[in-house]
C-alpha cells in the first residue's frame, strides 16, 4: 500500500509521523505535489494507491486510513 501526502497540505506532518510510528512497514511519503490541488487546499488529504481520501480534519483522515489498512490486511489474509 502506497500512501502519499502533499507537501502543501495542512496537517500532513502530524498525520505522516503518526502513521510512520503506527505502521512502519507501509510505503508512506510526503511528495511535492499529489495533483489534487482543489481538495488539497480545502481539507486534509492523502492519496492511497492512486485514490484520493479526505477527512474534515487530520484525526478523521487518520481513522479512515487505518480502517482501509485493516480491511486490506483482512482481505489479504483470506
Helix (H, G, I), strand (E, B) or coil at 57: coil
The predicted structure's pLDDT at residue 26: 94
* Dihedral (CA of 45, 69, 30, 2) sign: negative
Domain ranges of the chain: 2-77
Convert the pLDDT of each residue in 45-70 to its tens digit.
999 999 999 999 999 999 999 999 99
Q: Cα(28)–Cα(59) distance, rounded to whole angstroms?
A: 17
Q: Which pLDDT band, with edges at 50, 70 and 90, does 77 fall under?
A: low
The position carrying cell 488529504 is 45
Convert the pLDDT of each residue in 4-50 to its tens digit.
999 999 889 999 999 999 999 999 999 999 999 999 999 999 999 99
The predicted structure's pLDDT at residue 2: 95
31 within 8 A of 2, measured Cβ to Cβ = no
Closest among 59, 23, 30 to 46, alpha carbons compared: 30
The predicted structure's pLDDT at residue 78: 56
Amino acid at each position: 500500500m502506497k500512501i502519499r501526502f502533499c507537501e502543501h497540505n495542512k496537517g500532513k506532518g502530524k498525520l505522516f509521523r503518526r502513521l510512520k510510528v503506527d505502521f512502519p512497514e507501509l510505503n508512506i511519503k510526503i511528495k511535492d505535489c499529489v495533483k489534487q490541488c482543489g481538495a488539497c487546499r480545502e481539507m486534509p488529504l492523502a492519496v492511497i494507491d492512486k485514490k484520493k481520501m479526505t477527512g474534515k480534519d487530520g484525526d478523521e483522515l487518520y481513522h479512515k486510513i487505518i480502517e482501509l489498512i485493516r480491511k486490506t490486511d483482512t482481505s489479504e489474509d483470506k
